[in-house]
Structure 1
Amino acid sequence: MKKIMLGAAPLAASAGLATAQTNAPTLSLVAESQAMIWNAVTLDRGRIFVSGPRWTGSRGPQLALLDGKGRAAPFPDVAWNDWSPGKDPASTFVDVNALHRAPNGDLFVVDTGSPTFGGAPLPNGAKVVRIDLGTDKVIRIYRFAADVALPGGYIDDIRIHGDTAYLTDAGRPGLIVLDLKTGNARRVLSGAPSVTASNRPIVVAGEVVLAPDGKPLKVHSDPMELSPDGRYLYFGPLNGPWSRIETQWLDDPRANSADHVEPWAELPPVGGTAMAPNGDLYFTDLAENAVKRRTFDGHIQTIVSDPRLHWVDAPYLDSEGSLWLPVPQLDRIGIFHGGRSKIAWPTQLFRLTFNGTPTK
C-alpha cells in the first residue's frame, strides 16, 4: 500500500487563486496519494475517511482511515476491503462511491456493487453499509433488490432525513427512497426529465469529457442535497439544471412524485456539493476548477478557482465550516482515454478556509 502524506503546509493564497471574496481563502494540502483516487471524504472527531471507486483504477482500500503516520488503513477492517473477483460481495466493498455522515453521527457507505464502469451490480453487491463510528462496527447492511439496483445503473450518492435515506442513480436515471427502519427501498422518478442528463456537454480544462464509447459523457441523477429542515430534496443530473421536490411526496409510496417536481436552480456541471446549515449550497464548477457558493436567495459567488482543483468531487463541510475537497481528476481516468490514464499523480485532498478561519 502506498503511503499518504499528511499535514502538508498551506498553499499560498496567491498561487494561481482567483476569488470574489475580500478576504482571500486559504487552500491547505491535507493529504496526497500515489495509489488512491479518492472521490469522497468525511470527518469524525478529527479522523479523516476517504474512499475511491474501483473502476477508476484506485489501489488500496475501498474505504480508508487516514492516520497521523501517513498511512491509509482499511476501514472498518481488512475483511471489508478484501473483495476480489469470485468472492462473495455481500459483506465486502465492491465499489464504494459515496460517504455520508448522518445527523446522528453514523457513517453511511454507498457500494454500487459493480466493479466496472456501467456494469451490472453483482448479486447482493449493491448496498448501503451503516457503520457506528463510536464503535467502528458495521451495524446494518441495506441491500437493494434487482428491481432497484438495475443493470447499467450506478447508485451514486445519499442523503438522510430522519428514518429515510434518498439516493441518486447516475446510470439509470431516477431516485431511490430507502426506509432505514424496514430496509425496504423503491425507485421514484424513473426516467423523468428532472433526473435525466441532457445533451449539455461536461467540459473540464476546455475539453468535452467523453464516455468510453467516444460520445459525450452523460451522468444522470447525481448531485443532491436536503434543505436544512428536511422539507426539500434538491437534485439533478451532473450537467444540470437542478430541481426540487418536497420530501413528503417522496416518502408517500402512493404519491405520484413526478407531479410535484419544481425547477430550482440553473447550475453548471458540478463535481459535488455540500449544503450549509443556513441553506447556502457549495458546489464545484468543473469547467472553472472552482468552488462556488449559491446563497439561499439564489446569488452565486466564486470562492476560489485554482488549476489544482481539477474535478473536485463530493466536498465535505465540517462542523467548523471548512470545506474538504478531494481531487480525483475523474475525467483523466483511463477508461475515458482508451485505457491510458492521464492522472497527474499524486491525487490530493485540500481544506479550504478563509485567512485561517472557517468559511461561514
Structure 2
Amino acid sequence: MTQGPGNITVTPDDRIIVSLHQFYKTDDRVVEVSRDGRLTPFPNPEWAQGRNPDGTGLDSVLGIQADANGVVWMLDNGMRDQVTPQLVGWNTRTNQPEQIIPLPLPITAKNSFLNDLAVDLTHQAVYIADTTLGGAPALIVVDLKTGKARRVLSGQASVLPEKIDLIIDGKPVQSVQSDGTILRPNIGVNPIALDAKNEWLYYGPMHGTRLFRLRTSDLLNPDLQPDQLAQQVEDYAEKPICDGISIDQANNIYITDLGSDAIGVIRPNRSYQKLISAPWIAWPDAFSFGPDGYIYGVINQLHRTPALNGGVDDVKPPFLIIRFKPLAPGVIGR
C-alpha cells in the first residue's frame, strides 16, 4: 500500500476494507483495497474524506469490522477535527448507512481515544476499547437495538497500562510533547476481540503483559454495579505488548507482537508462542479472517512515524497487507 493503514476487515463477499491511520493524515479515512493494490475511497468520497456539516462522513477511523450481514462497522474517534465520536455501520449490500450512533460525553471522555471494536450480532451489541489518553481507559458497550451506550470498567486494573517501555529494533517508542520533553507512552486498553460464540470478550492494555476476559452476559447486564462487574474479570493469560488481536473457532488468540516484529498466538492451554517473525513485520496492527480461509493483517510502521519516534520520520513505504493460514478457521470479518 502507498498509504498507511490502521485496521483491516474482510467482508463475507471478499472485499478488503482498510482504515487509514490518522498519524498519516491521508485525505481518505477508509479505503477498499483491490487485489491489484488499487485504493478506492470507502464507502464513497463524500463519506471517506471528512465529517460533513450535516453529520455524515468520517473524521478519523481506526477500528473497523465487517459482520455476517455485510455491514462494515467503523469506529470514528473524531480526533482529527475534534468532533463527536460515532459508530457508523455501512451496509455494503444496499450501499447505504445501516446505523449511525453518536458517542458524546459522558459515554466518552474529554481525552477519549476510541481505538478498536468487537461486533456481537448474537446480542446486537458492539464493544469498544477507549484507550483514553492521559485519563481513565474504559470499555464502552453499545446496544444496537436502542442506540444507547454505557461506559464500563473505567480506570479498572484490567484496562490500565503497565509502566513498561515498548522497545522495537533496539529503540524505545517515544513521543515529543508540546513543551519539547520526551515521553515514553504507556497505552491502556486497545486489543479487543470476541470468541467465535460471542460468549467471552478478550481485551487488555496495549502496554501490558496480561490478557483479560469477561463474559458478554456480564458486560450486557446493566444491573451489575461497577465493583460487581470488575469482580467478574478473569486474568486469562500472559501476552506481549500488542496492538490488535483475533480469535479462531478453536480459541487460538492471534497476537500482534510489536516488540518482536512478530505474530504470535495464545493457545487454548494459555501458553504463548511466536508463529511468524521477520524484520518486515514492522508494527503489525490488526487482523481479519477472510472467506478464503486466511487471516489478513496490516503492517503500518507506526514506530517510525514522528508521533512515536521522537519527532523523526523514518517511515519507509510501501505499507503491507499480509495473509497467513490460521491454526483453525475463524469468523469472517474479525
TM, length-normalised to structure 1: 0.82
Secondary structure in 1 aligned to 2:47?
helix
Q: Which position in structure 1 is the counterpart of 2:104? A: 145
Q: Does residue 213 of structure 2 align to residue 244 of structure 1?
A: yes
Secondary structure in 2 aligned to 1:287?
helix
1:30-49 map, 5 Å: 32-33=1-2, 36-44=3-11, 45-49=13-17
Q: 1:285 deviation in Å?
A: 0.8
AA paired with 2:103?
F
Cα displacement string for residues 219-260 of structure 1 (whole angstroms, at most 9, x for unaligned residues): 111001112222211111002211111112211111021121
Cα displacement string for residues 196-224 of structure 1 (whole angstroms, at most 9, x for unaligned residues): 10102222222221133322111111001
Q: Percent identity?
A: 25
Task: Structure 1: state its 5+ residue gaps.
Answer: 1-31
Matched residues in 2 for 1:204 and 1:305: separation? 13
Task: Structure 2: state its 5+ residue gaps.
Answer: 329-334
AA paired with 1:290?
A
Matched residues in 2 for 1:285 and 1:338: separation? 21
Q: Which position in structure 2 is the counterpart of 1:114? A: 79
- Cα 1:295–1:89, aligned 2, differ >3 Å: closer, same or farther? farther
1:157-172 map, 5 Å: 157-161=116-120, 162=122, 163-171=124-132, 172=136
Q: 1:359 deviation in Å?
A: 4.7
Cα displacement string for residues 293-316 of structure 1 (whole angstroms, at most 9, x for unaligned residues): 111121323211011111000111
Q: Which position in structure 2 is the counterpart of 1:226? A: 194
Q: 1:78 deviation in Å?
A: 0.8
Secondary structure in 1 aligned to 2:284?
coil
- Cα 1:339–1:134, aligned 2, differ >3 Å: closer, same or farther? same
Q: Which position in structure 1 is the counterpart of 2:56? A: 91
Secondary structure in 1 aligned to 2:285?
coil
Q: 1:89 deviation in Å?
A: 7.6
AA paired with 1:166?
Y
Matched residues in 2 for 1:263 and 1:337: separation? 32
Secondary structure in 1 aligned to 2:324?
strand
Secondary structure in 1 aligned to 2:307?
helix
Q: 1:59 deviation in Å?
A: 2.0
Contact (CA 8 Å) 1:206, 1:287: kept in 2 or not? no
Matched residues in 2 for 1:265 and 1:359: separation? 19
Q: 1:134 deviation in Å?
A: 1.2
AA paired with 1:333?
T
Count of residues paired in the alignment: 314
Q: 1:70 deviation in Å?
A: 4.0
Q: Does residue 90 of structure 2 align to residue 131 of structure 1?
A: yes
Q: 1:265 deviation in Å?
A: 1.2
AA paired with 2:295?
L
1:58-77 map, 5 Å: 58-68=25-35, 70-77=37-44
Structure 1: which 4+ aligned runs deviate by more than 6 Å? Answer: none
Q: 1:348 deviation in Å?
A: 1.5
Matched residues in 2 for 1:260 and 1:103: separation? 29
AA paired with 2:40?
A
Secondary structure in 1 aligned to 2:74?
strand
Contact (CA 8 Å) 1:321, 1:359: kept in 2 or not? no
129-138 vs 319-328, greater mean Cα deviation: 319-328
Secondary structure in 1 aligned to 2:94?
coil
255-264 vs 98-107, greater mean Cα deviation: 98-107
Q: Does residue 161 of structure 2 align to residue 197 of structure 1?
A: yes
Matched residues in 2 for 1:68 and 1:238: separation? 31
Q: Which position in structure 2 is the counterpart of 1:350? A: 322
TM, length-normalised to structure 2: 0.89
